[in-house]
């Protein structure tokens, strides 16, 4: 599931999501139902979801990371994402790719997550 990515000068570290797709907001809401068991915030607002790519056939590809490579649920969390997104009406298939580049940092959290964790 982990793939080293070749970066080219000027290319973004995180691929853009297909925010214009009609299923995008529904997929985001599904991701928000998955929580990191060690942090009381959903994985989307924690900034662990880097990219949500939805193609014209409604296949969803999620590129995500974890807070640390030694995360105890590293082998399970991608499956939790699949289980959350698959029931979304219109989604045909779900693929989750785990990446470590760029590494996750607290600056990737949403303002809501920072507030929930007392960082604001």
Domains, the chain, ranges and CATH?
23-104 (3.30.300.130)
pLDDT digits (tens, 9 = 90+) for 85-109: 999 999 999 999 999 999 998 899 9
Half-sphere exposure of residue 78: CA atoms within 13 angstroms, side-chain side = 17
**CB atoms inside a 10 Å sphere around CB 34:** 19
Between CA 21 and CA 40, with CA 29 as vertex, the angle to 5 degrees is 145
Distance in angstroms (rounded) separating the CA atoms of residues 96 and 81: 7
**CB atoms inside a 10 Å sphere around CB 60:** 27
How would DSSP label each residue in 81-109?
Answer: HHHHHTTSTT--EEEEEE--SSPP-GGGS
pLDDT digits (tens, 9 = 90+) for 47-79: 999 999 999 999 999 999 998 888 888 889 999
């Amino acid at each position: 599931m982990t793939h080293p990515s070749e970066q080219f000068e000027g290319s973004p570290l995180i691929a853009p999501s297909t925010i214009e797709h009609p299923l995008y907001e529904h997929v985001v809401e599904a991701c928000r139902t998955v929580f990191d068991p060690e942090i009381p915030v959903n994985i989307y607002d924690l900034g662990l979801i880097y990219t949500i790519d939805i193609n014209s056939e409604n296949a969803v590809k999620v590129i995500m990371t974890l807070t640390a490579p030694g995360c105890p649920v590293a082998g399970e969390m991608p499956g939790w994402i699949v289980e959350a997104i698959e029931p979304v009406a219109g989604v045909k298939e779900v693929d989750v790719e785990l990446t470590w580049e760029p590494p996750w940092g607290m600056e990737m959290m949403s303002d809501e997550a920072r507030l929930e964790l007392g960082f604001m």
